[in-house]
Structure formats: structure tokens, C-alpha cells
A and B are shown apart, each in its own frame.
Chain A
Amino acid sequence: MRLKTEFDAPWAYSDRILVLKTGEWRYQRPVVIVSKCCQCGVCYLFCPAGCVSDMGDHYEANLDYCKGCGICARVCPANAIEMVREA
């Protein structure tokens, strides 16, 4: 028998932690129209996954973790986010 785990208990180094990419569950993704974004940050506050970041001139979701729920598009006061179906 060949064991791959280093420790006796489920310890992991914080920089090597195995992460579940919840973005793989998505069937639609938020696409930001940068020219319309007023940078109010409402999408950042409402994102249940906490995966929206301030990109300087607009906000954008990290697609590794965005599950495509569409809340950001719904709450955006500038209508700057469109939900686009994944291929």
C-alpha cells in the first residue's frame, strides 16, 4: 500500500490547500460592461461567494469561484452586469 498523505490528520499547508473551484458549477457568468460601471461596490457587497474584486476602474467576479447566481446583475443600480449563458 502506498500512502500519499503527509500527516496523520487532515492538516494542510495554507499555501498548498486543496481548493474546490466552485466556478465549475456555473451555467451562466456575469459580464461587466466597464463603461457603465459606476464603481459603487454594491455587487461586491452582495456577492454571496465574496468573489467580486475592485479592479480599479470597475468591479469583476473571480470566475474560479463565481457560481453564476446573478445577484450582482440584479442589484447593480447602473445595469452594468449582464448574465451570459456558459457554452
Chain B
Amino acid sequence: MNIKSTSREIKVLDGNRAAAYGAMLCQPDVIAAYPITPQSEVVETLFSFKAQGLLNAELIEPESEHSAMGILRGASIAGGRVFTATASQGLLFMFENCIHVATQRSPIVMVNVCREVAGPHIVVSGHSDIMMTKGMGWIQLHARSCQEILDLVVMAYRLAEDPQIRTPVVVCYDGWFLSHLWEPVEIPAREEVRRFLPPLETSPKVDPETPMVLGPWISSRPATEYRYKQSAAISRAKVKFDDVDKEFREIFGRGYGGQIEEYRTDGADIVLLAMGSSASTARVAIDRKRDEGLKVGLIRIRMFRPFPKERLVAALRQRKAIGVLDRSVSFGWDCGDLLVDVKAALYNLGTNIPTLNFICGLCDSDITTEIIEGAIDIVGQAAQGKPCEEVTWLDLE
């Protein structure tokens, strides 16, 4: 493992190593992380970088994820750039501190390797962990390739540290399907990353010269104001993410479209929505269906929080039917989490586009191109006005 300071190079990396490279290139001051399957290689690789002198960060392996986030909470209010990585039960365990750092507006960047939460006792891929924590006040980004994992970690720091946003960011990618998938990844030169990501300047911060208090007992009025400011800042991240993506393309030659990525949506009557690695598989299915003459396209949600409702509504306005692939279940709605948000966004359209939900890829189930093609066929029938089940559990078909 080596890294050149002025030139790019291509290495074959898995998703976890790509995340570690992304973090190392941003040169955080403090990294506190507790290993958990399928994230462990992120932490291992970062320790290895430190041993080789590629990373100057203070590396801490605490006794739990809760403590890891607690350490970052302190390091961040002292003005440090920080990083951690977790998955599943680890994310749930650090949940309490995650909310604290969001309220204190710490620009923390975390990687979550999406894994189903127990029970039953399962160590498998799925989105249930990150969906259960979607309301914790973090910006939530989703990658579909190992290259995008590295790139998103770098972009995440720009979003988190933006003075108008100052909100923690979690970069998500699918456990196993991406964390352990090996792909060629272009590693940016350090100099380029330095140009893209200026040093972090925070204010106020913990400083013995001017003692300040963070998080004291306060009355309802200022507490409500902090909630208001936090909500507005998170929403500002939507347009900012589009800008950051454009700027990233200018420097590194790669872009992804910001909040959402559209694939062959030109003139598409029906559109499939997906998030994460299944969107890569869906491209192949879309290509096949296009070859058959079906006007179908794909929209990938890259930013799940804040939810890209404006861009999504604009992209879905003229469609005849929509299919939503969900890798989690929203208990109480009896459908997937993404569908709930998509339908809420579509309300402002004023028209009723048939929107079908496909629950698939739960608990490590494969989402094959054939499965996605089957889903596209059902959406095609809905576009022709045929009555269809709103929610289909594809893994059980």
C-alpha cells in the first residue's frame, strides 16, 4: 500500500479499503472506531496506513461504538477533523451519541456498511440499520460502486464542513455486495484532495483561553431555535451536494449527478428508483429492457437524507408509472422505507402516478437482473392502466 502525492493511480480495492483510502486522503486528526462485520477492514486498513506513516491521525480503538462516537464528539468540538466506521448493531449502539453530535453540529464523517439488524441473528446485507436511524439528523449518502465509496467519503467532508451546513454525514454502502467486492479504483493524488478539501476551520470550539459550554441546560425557546437551524442547515445540503459533485468532476474527472443519478431516463415512460448496489444491477436490466423496446429508465437516490424531493419530483413529472426497489421494511406502513418518502414527495405533483413497491434484497437475498426485469414488467403493466399490487415481496415470489 502506497500513495503518491502528485499523481493518480489505479488499484484493485474492495469497498472497505476504498473507504479507508478516502478517509486517509482527507487526513483526519482523530479516528475512533470499533471493528464490526462487515466493516472491520476499514479499521484494519486505517491502522495499517498509520503504521506505514501514511496517516497522522490519532487512532483509537475504544471498547464500543458508543464510546467511539463519544470520542469523536469531543475531538470535533475541539476543532478536529474526525472519522469513524460502523455497521448494523454498532450503529444502533452509537445511535444516542449520533444524535448529540448532530445537535452540536459536528462535521463528523462516518461510513456505515449497511447490514441487517438482528434478530434473528443475521450478519447479512440489507438497509434496515440505516433506515432505523434515518431521523438522527445526519446527512445520508449512498454509493453503488467501490470508486464511489472513496469519492463519497471525500465529498462528505466538503458537505459536513461547509459553514452553511455543519452537519455530520454518513456514507452508506451495501455490506458484502460492496464491502467485499473488489474493483479497480482510481485513487486521487493527495494534492488534488487537498485542493478540493481545504483545512477545517470551526468556530466556536473548545479552547482553554476562552472557556465555553456546549450543551448546557436551556429553556424551550433556544432549544427550539437550535432544532429550526439544524433542520434548515440539513436542507441546504441538497443544492450544495449538486455543487460539490460538479466541483468534484472538474478536479477528478468523475461526477455522479449530485442528489440523484439518472440513467437512460430520456423519454422513459416508466422509471425505476433504487439505492445502493442494486442500482448497478438495475442498469443491466434497464439496458436489456431498452433493447426490447421498452421506454424505461433508472433514478438512483444518492442522497437519502435530506430527501431530494425537488429534483425527484422534477425527474418523475412526466412518467406513466414508477417502481421503487426497497431493501428494508417500514413496519407500520407495510411497505419499504423508500416508498414512503417517494410518495410523500410525489404529493406535490398533484397527479397520481401509479407507484409500485418491490421489497427485495432483504437479509442477503440476491437482487439479480432477472428479478429487476420482472419488476420492470409489472411496472409496465401499471403504466398501461392495469391494476397491480402496490407492494410485492420479490424474495418470496
Contacts and interface: CB of A to CB of B under 8 A. Distances in A.
Interface in A1-29: 1, 3-5, 7-14, 17-20
A11 B222 CA distance: 11
A8 B230 CA distance: 7
A7 B204 CA distance: 8
Contacts of A3: 225, 228-229
A17 B216 contact: yes
A5 B217 contact: no
A20 B217 CA distance: 7
B103 A14 contact: no
A9 B105 contact: yes
B214 A5 contact: no
Interface of B, helix, strand, loop or mixed by DSSP: mixed
B226 interface: yes
B229 A5 contact: yes
B211 A5 contact: no
Contacts of B221: 4
A9 B76 CA distance: 13
A10 B212 contact: no
B223 interface: yes
Contact of B213 (A4, A12, A20): A12
B219 interface: yes
Contacts of B104: 9-10
Nearest to A18: B218
A17 B215 CA distance: 10
B132 interface: no
B127 interface: no
B211 A10 contact: no
Given A11-B204, A18-B217, A5 B212 contact: no
Contacts of B216: 10, 12, 17-18
B226 A8 contact: yes
B226 A14 contact: no
Contacts of A11: 204, 212-214
A4 B222 CA distance: 7
A7 B225 CA distance: 10
B213 A17 contact: yes
Contacts of B211: 13-14
B223 A10 contact: yes
Contacts of A9: 103-105, 166, 214, 226
Interface in B198-240: 204, 210-219, 221-223, 225-226, 228-230, 233
B331 to A, nearest CB: 32
A18 B217 CA distance: 7
B226 A5 contact: yes
Nearest to A1: B228
A17 B226 CA distance: 16
A58 B194 CA distance: 63
Contacts of A12: 212-214, 216, 218
B222 A10 contact: yes
Contacts of A5: 222, 225-226, 229
A10 B219 contact: no
Interface of B: 103-105, 166, 204, 210-219, 221-223, 225-226, 228-230, 233
9 contacts: A1-B228, A5-B225, A9-B104, A9-B226, A10-B103, A11-B213, A11-B214, A13-B213, A17-B216
Given A3-B229, A8-B230, A18-B216, 6 more contacts: A3-B225, A8-B166, A10-B103, A10-B223, A13-B212, A18-B217
Q: Give the 10 A-B CB pairs with smallest separation, nearest first.
A: A14-B211, A9-B105, A5-B225, A9-B104, A12-B213, A5-B222, A8-B105, A10-B215, A8-B229, A17-B213
